[in-house]
Structure 1
């Protein structure tokens, strides 16, 4: 059972580590979520997929990655298991014949409707651990971190593209430098025919 209450901040490296503190906060959030949803409810990631698909039917796996922030390999396995459970229906995308689109099944809609009030209760419990005056700021900061996470893949792609261009330009410059340093071939002197020595004129007969 998760207990609320203020605790004195402990000094030390971990107490000043954002990654550690966020990990602890995530553990707390997942514990509260599990308590509210129980063993029969969807997991937090399953709920995110159900909610995202409910907002726009026919999402592809790429769309779901962007909408939920779940990495592609994990999402593929998640969608497969949710489809096997009958929570999602898959069909060929009308926009891309190579992609599969997902929709909520009747069972998925029922599961989502049952889970929503429990998730709201979990969120209220988590926010209740914070002073009222800091709750809006807390959500604002979380939104900024989520936006940074969404932008990270695109920034990584641009960084890789820029690095490839840099390496290509460096190879061109190196090739040009080697060509400039290569000594020019000495020109062969033109062949000249030796001048003919005039024959001495003989005495007239």
Structure 2
């Protein structure tokens, strides 16, 4: 059973966002597990089913964006959920190379059964905060989630900028090296040879 408390923490960990968020995540998952039960959907399974229910025919790339689950983990998760009969996979109508997923009847039933339990878990988590801070808390979480969603695109853009800068630096370096090559002095012209004086012809006697 999860117990809440207002114990004040001290030390460097108390000022560490990564540590505090990890602790809060553990608390949230514990509450989630208590509400959904040992045989219920995991939080990630619920997220996938909920995302697919909003828009059927999502590809793996779509699900990565919708749920924030990394690609390799999601691929394994979808495979296991398909084996369990929670999802149906088919060829995407948008991209013949990609597989799209849809909710199966069993998946829809599992989602319908899980929603009230997940709502109960969310209420328990928010109830740990004063009413006046709940909206602000959700707003901050939404901002952080938006940054997480934008992170891959930002990383790609930064990588492209770095590559471009490196290419321009190499070009500039080559240009400098070409400019530093010693200019060959023009060959000195050979002095013109002085014309030899013509010998005077001897006069023949008359």
For Structure 1 versus Structure 2, the TM-score category normalised by the shorter chain is over 0.9
Provide the rounded CA distance (Å) in 1 between the counterparts of 2:195 and 2:91.
Answer: 92
Instruction: Show CA shifts across 1:11-59 (max 9, x none).
Output: 2111111111100000000001111111221110010000000000011
The residue aligned with 1:2 is 2
The residue aligned with 1:39 is 38
TM-score by length of 1: 0.95
Instruction: Show CA shifts across 1:144-187 (max 9, x none).
Output: 11011111111111110110011011111111111111111222
Provide the rounded CA distance (Å) in 2 between the counterparts of 1:34 and 1:190.
Answer: 95
Aligned length: 204
Deviation of residue 192 (structure 1)? 6.2
1:83 aligns with 2:82: yes
The residue aligned with 1:68 is 67
Structure 1 pair 93–192 and aligned structure 2 pair: CA distance change class (3 A): farther
Deviation of residue 68 (structure 1)? 0.3
Deviation of residue 132 (structure 1)? 1.0
Q: Report 1:99-178 matches (<5 A).
A: 99-178=98-177
Structure 1 residue runs of 5 or longer lacking an equivalent are: none
**What CA RMSD, in Å, does the superposition of the two structures yield over aligned residues?**
1.3
Deviation of residue 196 (structure 1)? 4.1
1:92 aligns with 2:101: no
Provide the rounded CA distance (Å) in 2 between the counterparts of 1:147 and 1:175.
Answer: 42
- Give the secondary structure class of the aligned counterpart of 2:85: coil
Provide the rounded CA distance (Å) in 1 between the counterparts of 2:3 and 2:105.
Answer: 37
Structure 2 residue runs of 5 or longer lacking an equivalent are: none
Provide the rounded CA distance (Å) in 2 between the counterparts of 1:2 and 1:114.
Answer: 23
The residue aligned with 2:13 is 14
Provide the rounded CA distance (Å) in 2 between the counterparts of 1:41 and 1:201.
Answer: 128
- Give the secondary structure class of the aligned counterpart of 1:102: strand
Structure 1 pair 187–145 and aligned structure 2 pair: CA distance change class (3 A): same
The residue aligned with 1:54 is 53
